Chains A and B, each alone.
Chain A
């Protein structure tokens, strides 16, 4: 049997949407047993819709979005409006190592599942509570999603074209929050491994994104400067941009970082006259004359495919890559060889291509992901095998809509 880093770690997952589920997806890909606690009474909305696709999905077991961020997990249905369900949840926590939740601050406490209550059930429990802007402070009850985290954090303000509107980027804003949550949980697991102590972690989603723009915030605290949107440009490098290529909506990015690379770039594009122009003689002049430089570079890139530009420039030692679209990624030879995509078989969706883990660990091979669970798929395993509840009792719990 293969060994995974988090073998033996059990995670009770009360999260929904994207950020929390991505945190537990990372833990699941590292080998933790993640039990998602959900309910027909309060469905994870990604089982029904997404900000990307709108309300277009079939039933709760047919959501591809839900599948793609809940691989490798188990599903237990508990209707947390029932007292019996709360008891069962606590028993499950008692048999677990980590609890993660992203309800509005205060909700878990009202349900009787706050950190203090869970610590009574399991003194060394690690609990992470993820919220829009944190569990303390005047705005603690405020709610949000990826685009609002990007907005609040300061990152959206500096993303986008120069003089264009800001950009709240993509769903990756949520998964950045989730990665941060996974990091904090792992640090707490290591602390518990050493000391035997659990703890509570209060995570602010908006702060998680602010941390990824730390240098921009430092510019303000150091110099009082509010950094504006800088498109694809760089403070120092030029050329440094995204240029059109042959074909519709095909682009390539090029970044030239020093004089040696500039000479290599000029040679690689067969040194047209303009490359000798005084306007582009050194880094500072190239940066200063960027609009003209970008126009000339684009004249060259337009005559080639994105892959041709990458091949020619990378061979010359200059950083250049295509702007991948979603449909280019599965076809790219490098990514194919790396095997970043994997296929899972889902009982209702069928075969589906999904994305693997963001790292390779030499001693613990990549876990081939299992599809996301159907709702309540593992009720029997969790309630029966883990918690020792009899089959009759489980049936009664289902009838009473406690397990629902």
Chain B
């Protein structure tokens, strides 16, 4: 049997919504043992955000929560009181990694700052994911996905020309920028784990969600940082996003061989052999005149036809896929990108898996997301708590 890549890695997660939970999910999906700590009663805020199964709000049936918390164990705990803090510290001693997303200063106020945690567990890697990082004038500022995406510069850069209408900068769809912060945090966490090895010392990782996104758009940002008018200097390029008969397509054809493939795709029109299309520079100069000719062809064809036929000729073309297009795609079916996971409250549902196929240590769904406090018994018994003690902690609202 194949082993898991991260077997034996113990992770304590104290996070909500998307960023931290996604980072910890990536580790859990590759075999790390992740214990997620949630607030008693209400749990992770993602439990109260949709999409809900059949659109009926239910804390065990949020698609957002179910997706972001696969393969984890879940406990409830309020670390603010002394009894809760004792248990939290025991979990910290157990862990290789703590991922937390509280506002800077919060962990210190709870007596759980890195300075103290490293005394009780010197090998601990603590990853803190916050909107603006642990330092700097905005460290205490609040931000949701909308704010962070826009604060990173990404909303002001786009491949898509502002096509008349609304010029308001717009965020990336869903929570994409929050997933990014979780993914970046996971990269840094694994690097620190690799450095630490089985018995080295840990460290504190400061992930600013804003910087995680700035780092991703480094080419655009460097361009502006070195030349404030960089954006205005951009030249037109043929193709790009275009409406077609049944939706939209994306076609990329700056290089000569790609252009030649595009010409084949659009049935080799005469104008494509004129001086105006002579080379990349000429096409770029004449984009205003040439683009409508290409778009006119696209409007007469379907997105799947443009995708497959374009690719057949070697042109990087793609359909703008909806969720159903992705799910129904024969490519994704073949690759088994969606897998079914059974959950006690939400039933058997199909989940996106992972984009990487590791030949020795494949992605696995060992268990669905935990129900709220679902592993209190096993985890706290493992820490030596008796049934009576657990009943009392529950009574007092600690767990």
Contact = CB atoms under 8 A, between A and B. Distances in A.
A168 B184 CA distance: 21
Contacts of A161: 165-166, 168, 170
Interface in A199-240: 199-208, 210-223, 225-227, 229-232, 234-237, 240
Interface in B181-233: 183-188, 190-195, 197-198, 201-208, 210-226, 228, 230-231, 233
Interface in A149-166: 149-161, 164-166
B111 interface: no
A144 B318 contact: yes
A184 B358 contact: yes
Contacts of B326: 152-154, 210, 217
Interface string A21-56: 000001000100000000000000100011111111
Contacts of B225: 326-327, 329-330, 341, 353
B371 to A, nearest CB: 17
A361 B220 contact: no
B163 A165 contact: yes
B146 A220 contact: no
A362 interface: yes
Interface string A124-138: 000010001111111
Contacts of A242: 146, 150, 155, 168-171
Given A138-B330, A169-B159, A326-B220, A232 B311 contact: no
B158 A170 contact: yes
B154 to A, nearest CB: 6
Contact of B170 (A144, A159, A175): A159
A48 to B, nearest CB: 9
A72 interface: no
B378 interface: no
B147 A253 contact: yes
Nearest to A146: B159
B66 A218 contact: yes
A51 B316 CA distance: 13
Contact of B49 (A156, A236, A314): A236
Contacts of A358: 184, 188, 207-208, 211-212, 214-216
B6 interface: yes
Contact of B231 (A139, A229, A244, A326): A326
B201 to A, nearest CB: 7
A49 B254 CA distance: 9
A384 interface: no
B237 A54 contact: yes
A310 to B, nearest CB: 8
B174 A155 contact: yes
Contact of A353 (B26, B160, B226, B254): B226
A203 B202 CA distance: 30
A204 B302 CA distance: 24
A203 B354 CA distance: 9
Nearest to B334: A137
Nearest to A298: B168
A389 interface: no
Interface string A4-33: 111100000000001000000010001000
A319 to B, nearest CB: 4
A219 B323 contact: yes
Interface stretch (A78-86, A187-195, A279-287, A373-381): A187-195
A165 B250 CA distance: 12
User: How many A residues are at the interface, by size bracket?
Assistant: 35 or more
B53 A222 contact: yes
A60 interface: no
A211 B352 contact: yes
A360 to B, nearest CB: 4
A246 interface: no
Contact of A216 (B173, B180, B234): B173
A95 B263 CA distance: 45
A220 B41 CA distance: 28
Nearest to B161: A165
Interface in B117-151: 132-138, 141-144, 146-148, 150-151
A218 to B, nearest CB: 3
Interface in B357-377: 357-361
A128 B5 CA distance: 15
Nearest to A218: B63
Contact of B63 (A186, A197, A219): A219
B59 to A, nearest CB: 15
B187 A179 contact: yes
B216 A202 contact: no
B306 to A, nearest CB: 11
A187 B323 CA distance: 29
A44 to B, nearest CB: 12
Contacts of B240: 147
B349 interface: yes
Contacts of A165: 160, 163, 241, 243, 248
A305 interface: no
Contacts of B344: none
Contacts of B175: 215
Contacts of A235: 49-50
Contact of B318 (A136, A148, A164): A148
A403 interface: no
B88 interface: no
A-B pairs, top 7 by smallest CB distance, nearest first, are A326-B224, A218-B63, A158-B173, A358-B215, A207-B355, A54-B235, A148-B318
Given A54-B284, A182-B187, 5 more contacts: A69-B219, A154-B321, A169-B154, A203-B356, A219-B323
23 contacts: A52-B219, A54-B234, A55-B235, A134-B357, A145-B252, A148-B316, A155-B174, A170-B157, A176-B216, A180-B355, A194-B7, A194-B198, A214-B179, A221-B338, A225-B51, A251-B168, A255-B143, A323-B150, A326-B220, A338-B133, A355-B221, A360-B206, A362-B206
